[in-house]
Structure 1
């Protein structure tokens, strides 16, 4: 008997996940008439429209027959050299053969999964973590396990205890451990250096890959840079992901993977043709003469002002039993409300009051995060950020039960 439609031909993984939310569902919040603290978008004035137009004109003048062709020209090929130089600035010694270019960072995560994951393999993630990554891991049929995050990043000691207990009873370990060590999404915290070193030791001892996602590492506003996991890794256990979305513009949709050369060759094979050659040439041209470095310096000034306004506003308006992270860089502040708060249920009231955010439950693999929320200071103007925080504080004061105030005025 012929079945109607084609849904019965979907893969098991697609059928198993059809009822779950997907990365992008939250974009409906974008249309709300409210201060947008939900989005990890750059603020509009930061986008280098004029310089990208100039770079495009220069590229087309220099390579009129090749810039728009399959594969591009010399400028497109030169982008790997730009990335190698920037990796070396962070202490990572690699060659162009260790670089795989992708159509954005989420495509990079997906490519890593295509090379390493079989359905049923386990991925350990930070709890909470980037919701887009959670969707990708589920799409590959992976089992996702969360390990808590605190003020110093992933609780690597807790992971070590779990892995040791598994080894003692003969249980399998994870295939991948996914981490955002610098200015983590959504919490904004940064992993301590000793935890980075221990995580790499665990990867070698328990035979897993560390997937290091670093979209925000160049956007530090306070303190001293910590070494990337890839820079500390002498055993080639780390696969590192990065992107130009946060330092140039999301619309250029260009990311990359750094791995050992043998692994990078498999990314090249599995993900052939995944990045637009014209955009590669455009970015290479734009990065000439230190333009990107100057742009990052300006970005840091703009984001620092917004972060400081958000933290000051939280301190001024929030009830004393609400806590929050105090990031040294990146885009996000993580809010912790008292027990009994449901930030997903509270969101419509917040929008009516004049502010949007993302509920904490979006960032967990399990049924957690109800009393947390992510705020982004990257997109709105400083004055609007203060208005948004005041609106959120009114919403909280009207609807959140009082507690003993154990969180204090920040964390």
Structure 2
């Protein structure tokens, strides 16, 4: 949750009581059964008849040099990490005195069993030993092979040299992309309100944020074009990177339509920037239509795609991966070598079993989508009477409602005092601005964990809180007018 030093004013005992409140169950009273899913259609994020941008030439290996940060360009391969990669390739055909790996016989674990709704995973013997051992920095070879197939089937990206790096969650991927591409003070393109973890990764670089407004369908390509054309005309430094969450944008819940994605991709070619496509909610699209990904349109090698199963399988598993042009991916791998050696091997072994069983994977994702859709619809019904107090759009994907509170220029006091003291936790819109001290009239509401039976009470309290804050704002305006 978004908290700054202002939060210190909140009563400590009240905060303690709220945080120690009863646990919230994730189980719904409604039971979801396994569905017969058309796997090919479920994992289809491309348009077979879609027009591909062919006016621009694909980037060559040397072209990527201009996008690299000074830090990224200075990284060198680790010889010991290279030996680990070689060890996995040659297997037992060679006697080794090279790798500094522990001997698997000292591992205390003998068997790991995980039961899912649709299957069971058992790791023991050599398989378990391998799942507890060091890996090449790029990832578990079998998982990489499966993810390459998965991305090819799901997105059908144009034929270009690309590869995959397993990351420790999408936040890790975001941080790696920022470290790869940005110099201090660089301009960065993103939506006006963007995922707070992206802003957190940016702050040490003190960038110039170019926040592009959104409407109910997401980022406005016309405004993006106008901003870039103006910078070019004025001779200002041009951005190298656009960060975007095209499906279920956090916090706005929008889904960027295909025509806008194609227009934004064309602008990336025209103005020479890369697109970081962060898509953790791609499987939580509540419409009947999958939208082609930026990766599926990437004829020129300008997309770094971040995928994650945190919201739909397990947040703690940290299962995620980057798909990127090979010259950039090789640099990202060098970063991983010195940062964490590699992502958790055991998590990767679990992720492998999940992804390779497509039918079960699709069935589970359908369950997750239906589970969250039920909560979205329930919260929407509860919120409908508040439209005049705080208008909002019906979220097409993701986990959030985005409300604009009428008559209140800044919701900070509302969130951290008025609402909190009444037992209601909210997130202020400031959390999704780079400048978190700026006044903001928006609230983000999350429906993922709240119990269905608690929604009406929560919204009733929210309505009282909004009316109270609106009255305070009116009284303040009257005092200012009288004093003036």
Q: Does 1:227 align with 2:292?
A: yes
Q: Which residue of 1 aligns with 2:448?
A: 378
Partner Cα separation in structure 2 for residue 379 and residue 126 of structure 1:
26
Q: Displacement, 1:385?
A: 2.4
Partner Cα separation in structure 2 for residue 95 and residue 254 of structure 1:
25
Q: Which residue of 2 aligns with 1:79?
A: 143
SS of alignment partner, residue 296 of structure 2:
helix
Q: Which residue of 1 aligns with 2:170?
A: 105
Q: In 2 relative to 1, CA 151–120 (structure 1 residues): closer, same or farther, beyond 3 Å? A: same
SS of alignment partner, residue 123 of structure 1:
strand
Partner Cα separation in structure 2 for residue 359 and residue 257 of structure 1:
30
Q: Does 1:65 align with 2:65?
A: no
Aligned residues: 371
Q: Does 1:183 align with 2:253?
A: no
Q: Displacement, 1:384?
A: 1.7
TM-score between the two structures when normalised by the length of structure 2: 0.70
Q: Which residue of 1 aligns with 2:334?
A: 269
What is the RMSD computed on CA atoms of the aligned residues? 3.2
Q: Which residue of 2 aligns with 1:355?
A: 424
Residues 408 and 469 in structure 2, CA contact (< 8 A), matched pair in contact too: no
Partner Cα separation in structure 1 for residue 413 and residue 294 of structure 2:
38
Spell out the pairing of 1:6-405 with structure 2 (5 A cutoff). Answer: 33=18, 43=26, 51=115, 58-61=122-125, 63-71=127-135, 76-93=140-157, 98-272=163-337, 273-289=341-357, 290-316=359-385, 318=386, 320-347=388-415, 348-366=417-435, 367-368=437-438, 370-401=440-471
Q: In 2 relative to 1, CA 95–160 (structure 1 residues): closer, same or farther, beyond 3 Å? A: closer
SS of alignment partner, residue 340 of structure 1:
coil
Residues 349 and 395 in structure 1, CA contact (< 8 A), matched pair in contact too: yes
Partner Cα separation in structure 2 for residue 301 and residue 62 of structure 1:
38
Residues 111 and 270 in structure 1, CA contact (< 8 A), matched pair in contact too: yes
Q: Which has the higher contact order (CA 8 A, sep 6+)?
A: 1
Partner Cα separation in structure 2 for residue 359 and residue 64 of structure 1:
45
Task: Kindly provide the CA deviation profile for residues 292-350 of structure 1, in whole angstroms up to 9, marking residues without a partner as x.
Answer: 2221111111101100011110013x262320121122111101111334221111221
SS of alignment partner, residue 324 of structure 1:
coil
Q: Which residue of 2 aligns with 1:14?
A: none
Q: Displacement, 1:274?
A: 3.4
Task: Pick the structure with greater CA Rg.
Answer: 2
Q: In 2 relative to 1, CA 79–401 (structure 1 residues): closer, same or farther, beyond 3 Å? A: farther
Residues 103 and 253 in structure 1, CA contact (< 8 A), matched pair in contact too: yes
Residues 42 and 246 in structure 1, CA contact (< 8 A), matched pair in contact too: no
Partner Cα separation in structure 1 for residue 442 and residue 223 of structure 2:
22
Partner Cα separation in structure 1 for residue 161 and residue 343 of structure 2:
16
Q: In 2 relative to 1, CA 247–190 (structure 1 residues): closer, same or farther, beyond 3 Å? A: same
Q: Displacement, 1:81?
A: 3.1
Partner Cα separation in structure 2 for residue 35 and residue 327 of structure 1:
31
* Farther-moved stretch of structure 1 (59-68 vs 345-354): 59-68
Q: In 2 relative to 1, CA 258–396 (structure 1 residues): closer, same or farther, beyond 3 Å? A: same
Question: Which blocks of at least 5 consecutive residues in structure 1 are unaligned?
Answer: 1-19, 404-411
Q: In 2 relative to 1, CA 109–220 (structure 1 residues): closer, same or farther, beyond 3 Å? A: same
Q: In 2 relative to 1, CA 335–277 (structure 1 residues): closer, same or farther, beyond 3 Å? A: same
Partner Cα separation in structure 2 for residue 124 and residue 349 of structure 1:
35
Question: Which blocks of at least 5 consecutive residues in structure 2 are unaligned?
Answer: 32-112, 474-484
TM-score between the two structures when normalised by the length of structure 1: 0.82
Q: In 2 relative to 1, CA 30–164 (structure 1 residues): closer, same or farther, beyond 3 Å? A: farther
